[in-house]
Amino acid sequence: DDPELFDPTRPARTNTAFGGGLHFCVGAPLARLEMQIALPILFERCPSLKLAADPEYSNSYHFHGLTRLMVTT
């Protein structure tokens, strides 16, 4: 209520914006599970896998993942 009014006694409310709180991405837990399964298999099959260049990171909105990851075997 009254977002334009500064009220330090205002009760805290949970964030319901997209990307956090109630509307957090439902696919995020699935993606983490996929990585927990896939990465050990990848490293077992390609034990000599190494970085070929420094990773490049994205910093858009609240996503901070990789935009580029170059490797050699």
Q: What local confidence, expressed as pLDDT, does residue 45 receive?
A: 95
pLDDT, tens digit, for every residue of 14-73?
655 555 555 567 788 888 899 999 999 999 999 999 999 999 988 766 667 888 999 998
3-class DSSP assignment, residue 61: coil
pTM of the full structure? 0.55
Which residues are bridge partners to 60 per DSSP?
A: 63
Q: What local confidence, expressed as pLDDT, does residue 10 receive?
A: 85
Taking the C-alpha atoms of 20, 58, 34 and 45 in order, what is their torsion angle to the nearest 10 degrees?
Answer: -170
d(CA 8, CA 59): 32
d(CA 15, CA 60): 19
Give the residue carrying structure tokens 């000599």.
48
